[in-house]
Chains A and B, each alone.
Chain A
């Protein structure tokens, strides 16, 4: 193939894309849809359930304060600290629950695998940025809140290329 034909062919393959839809996710307006409600783990079968590893969800009525999540995190990020919860709040015998520092968390989900009581899951919420370091520390009360997410963009594949809809 001659140099001129090669360059024309290369230009042509680029020009074709002018007529195609862009493969860009317009992020704050569009958000990707994920599988399920986040990563979970079934201690009976020992297998997880697929889902995004985002911010944690803590179920206060299941948490026994056994610290297994905190022990699992010791070798990874040391992000989980067990803190005292108020006496008036629904609580376990030791009245301690995990508090997670998202400045340290690496979202590996090994704490979820460690929990034998179905108390700690992960959710689809990944927008955790904060102006202060203290804002990244989520107390047991904050971890209880189910995040509100509106994620619906998906990769659509058509004859004219892939788009995010």
Chain B
């Protein structure tokens, strides 16, 4: 009897190949986030890769079963604190349908504006980390600084820099402050000029192109087959954006386009969120002009509202892709089940296929281009 046979399953000794070395990147590594990537390398080339998420699982879905529809809000936005409006969006839309609440027209516009501002905050943070992953420290500083423009706007609007707890079933918590529209337009216009400068230093930079072009290529068919969403899917040439395909709130009345790139490599995946930010600015300007100038922003809720004996599924486009929320109600003030279907986890599935055959040095850029946020995927 060999030693391996005596060990319990899961602890079996692996057969060691002399050529192949196994590397654990993470779970505490600046290049991995809160996850472990087990890579097997042959020299400088990755032979196999096994992403191992789950280190920051906090049981958000289980927690939601013990809290009512309102007190669920502060903890459900914790998975992505810098995209907290977008992660709350499907939950709030679903809760409204379950509880039968009408949302005032002005609140829908305010929600769209807050969600787009938040998308920019997320994307700039993501871009800053993408820059530092590639050793481009200017690209770390610029988005981190410009992110402050949007954080300042959201602070004025919601009262908190991150974790706004702003959306609520029935609208938003508070109306826009006085002259918010002017400040918002001024800062968004400045940002649009500023973001154009990113192309010179980053996206048109030959060093960046040589490092990211043709690495981690995800073909159109594979992108669909693996079920990726968001910027990863659009970078592979599939025109799919939940805001266009299944418009929620007032997105169908707003003027914007989706950005689709064909090449499907890391470069395209890093460029699509940047182009999306320009569209976000367009949406914000359009929503500010089309918004009703006065009116209520919140429908008053009854204390401890109860849903019917039914379930609801809502989807929105978050910074990382389609974000779904399935709420099951059983005539109680607490939801029976809340399931979040997040874009991060869907995009992670593509990672082993993309990294196979890549150089180890390209691992951070391919990994981060997947728009993956470990905390959101683990929930």
Which residues of A are at the interface with B, using a C-beta cutoff of 8 A? 1-3, 6-7, 9-10, 12-14, 23-25, 32, 34-36, 38-39, 41, 45-53, 72, 74-77, 106-110, 113, 122, 155, 157, 162
Contacts and interface: CB of A to CB of B under 8 A. Distances in A.
Given A10-B202, A39-B174, A110-B73, 8 more contacts: A13-B201, A34-B156, A47-B298, A49-B174, A53-B160, A109-B159, A157-B187, A157-B190
B152 interface: yes
A46 B298 contact: yes
Secondary structure of the B side of the interface? helix
B68 interface: yes
B155 A6 contact: no
Interface of B: 66-68, 70-75, 138, 145-146, 148-149, 152, 155-160, 163, 165, 173-178, 180, 186-187, 190, 194, 197, 200-202, 204-207, 296-301
13 contacts: A1-B204, A6-B204, A6-B206, A14-B138, A23-B146, A34-B155, A39-B174, A46-B298, A48-B298, A49-B175, A75-B71, A162-B149, A162-B187
A50 B160 CA distance: 10
A112 B324 CA distance: 30
Contacts of A25: 148
A9 B203 CA distance: 11
A47 B297 contact: yes
Given A47-B297, A76-B75, A108-B73, A9 B200 contact: yes
Secondary structure of the A side of the interface? loop
Query: Which of A38, A50, A51, A110 counts the most B-chain CB atoms under 10 A from its CB?
Result: A50
A10 B205 contact: yes
A122 B174 CA distance: 14
A52 B72 CA distance: 21
Contacts of B186: 157
Nearest to B153: A155
Nearest to B198: A13
B39 to A, nearest CB: 30
A102 to B, nearest CB: 15
Given A109-B165, A162-B190, A47 B156 contact: no
